[in-house]
Amino acid sequence: MGMPTGVLGLLGTFVSIQNAKMIHYLLADHGIPYIEPGGFSQLPLYLKERNAAIFFGMPPYTYWQRNPEIGKIPPYRTDTGCYLISETYGTKNMIYIKDEKGLYTNDPKKDKNAKFIPKITAGELMERDLDDVVVERSVIEMMTSAKNGRQIQIINGMEKGNLTKALNGEHVGTIITSN
Amino acid sequence: MENKHHNHIDSLYMRESLLDKKVMAIGEGSSTFKMLPYVHIVKIGASSFIDKGREATYPVVDKMREILKKEKLVISTGGGARSKHLFSVALDLGMPTGVLAQLAGEDALGNAHILGTLLSPEGVIAIPPESIGHLLPLFLQAAPGVIYAGMPPYSIWEHPSKKGNIPSHRTDSGAIILAETFGFKTVTLVKDVDGLYDKDPKEFKDAKFIDKINVNELEKMNLKTLPFNRVVIDILRNNKSCTHFQVVNGNNPDLIEDSINGKHVGSIIHNDLYEG
């Protein structure tokens, strides 16, 4: 229909809101709040009170979403939105839970010869210029200038116990570092 | 009878990774709908005008009044000296880039309201970024123009800066991204210099004027000072609708009108798609 990237960014935000709300309802009996971008000033309070908060991952760029280098799909999506929150707030960990063990040399769902990469720097990963990556490329690029968010870990949420291990600082998936 | 409206939707991206380069390239070259192709965006530099008070600002505002009788305008502005002061205080206090971006939005909003006050007789008011997006087409049918507090709503989601901690997406970038999304006719950045120079003309008398340049060439030159946010280079390179913008000297307010009318009166910075 000829929608510009800024409008695709807006539409993508709605999808992310729907998913965040469903997680919110699933966790409702734990008293976990759902916050919109304007509610982030309450984040420290919620974390102190309830140990968690849910937000939709899209950065709220909406009509101000920049064009990608190629194509029209918004380049700054939910991986980036979460990463930037970890960068600004200086969180202890930035963990991405996916349905793969982590980063491979190619999409392991399509390529059986894809090799697992347990640890890599953002610079090396950019140099490799892989056809498919497990986390948004803008996150990898931003990591090269990060002040706080200098490490991320991608883990497989299909394996029980992985998240607890990753929260304890264990290496269970792919770790990408700034340098 | 066969149900033709069954639940299965054939969608290009279903079951595909949006991180696969081949998938990402789909849509490249296809046309983009232009929402407001008759609208011009004019960014009035706050350091160049508003910070200098009435003497500098009123002639520009008077010119805007005149233009608003003929053309539909989005007028944007920045935080100017107040943002610079804010950055120095906030950096001293150890605030991260995202917090600087969040706070700077208020400076630009203050200046937008100053312009909105001066242009009230024309029915032109300042609209905060949260409501300007989807309501912009409506506002521009109802009034000759609107004022946009130029900071894009990146706030605590501002990208980490490549050098230092100052937010990279500021008001020039906000204007250029908005122009791309809405398909505006022209983008004019109004400053207190004639346009782009190979070095700061306020410091160096032998600075050479650059009247027109491709954004890739500009990047190669790696100039120390630019009369606009550096990230504009990366943004403009990937733009499809907004292929160029012009920097003009607002100390001669007639140049603003000339720029809107498509005349080359300052520095034009353009990408590969520009036809001019």
At B76-135, the pLDDT tens digits run 999 999 999 999 999 999 999 999 999 999 999 999 999 999 999 999 999 987 788 889
Contact A146 B160 (CB under 8 A): yes
Domain extent for B195: 32-270
- Residue A66 backbone class (left: φ over 0; alpha: ψ -120 to 50; beta: rest): beta
What is the tally of structural domains in chain B? 1
**CATH superfamily to which A91-179 belongs:** Acetylglutamate kinase-like (3.40.1160.10)
The residue-averaged pLDDT of A79-83 equals: 98
Residues B132-149: what's their mean pLDDT?
Answer: 93
- In the prediction, which pLDDT does B14 show? 67
Q: How confident is the model at residue B202 (pLDDT cuts 50, 70, 90)?
A: confident
Tell me, yes or no, whether B23 lies in a domain: no
Q: Domain limits of chain A?
A: 1-76, 91-179
What is the tens place of the pLDDT at every residue in A105-132?
998 888 899 999 999 999 999 999 998 8
* CA B33/CA A1 separation, integer angstroms: 8
Residue-level pLDDT at B28 = 78
Output the pLDDT for position B268: 98
Structure tokens that stand for A37 in this block:
């971008």
Q: Is residue B276 part of a domain?
A: no
* A–B CB contacts, 8 A cutoff, strictly below: 134
pLDDT at B187 over 70: yes
User: A35 and A93 in contact (C-beta within 8 Å)?
Assistant: no
Cβ-in-10-Å burial (0-12, 13-18, 19+) of B92 comes to exposed
| Chain A residues with beta carbon closer than 8 angstroms to that of B161 | 145
Whether A64 sits inside 8 A of B96 (CB atoms) is no
Short-list B100, B125, B133, B13, CA closest to A60: B133
B100/B104 Cα distance (integer angstroms): 6
pTM of the model: 0.91
In angstroms, the Cα distances linking B181 to A11, B30, B134 are: 13, 15, 11
Q: Is residue B199 part of a domain?
A: yes
Cβ-nearest to B28 among A2, A71, A137: A71
Residue A114: the pLDDT is 93
Mutate which: B11, B19, B273, vs A, most A CBs within 10 A: B19
Alpha carbons within 13 A on the beta-carbon side of A115: 3
Task: Convert the pLDDT of each residue in B23-53 to its tens digit.
Answer: 778 777 788 999 999 999 999 999 999 999 9
Angle of helix B80-92 relative to helix B97-118, nearest 10 degrees, comes to 160
DSSP B121-155: GGT--EE-HHHHHHHHHHHHHHSSEEEEE-S-TTG
Give pLDDT tens digits for A140-172: 999 999 999 899 999 999 999 999 999 999 999
CATH of residue B85's domain is: 3.40.1160.10
pLDDT one-digit tens code per residue, B225-267? 999 999 999 999 999 999 999 999 999 999 999 999 999 999 9
- Asked whether residue B9 is domain-assigned, the answer is no
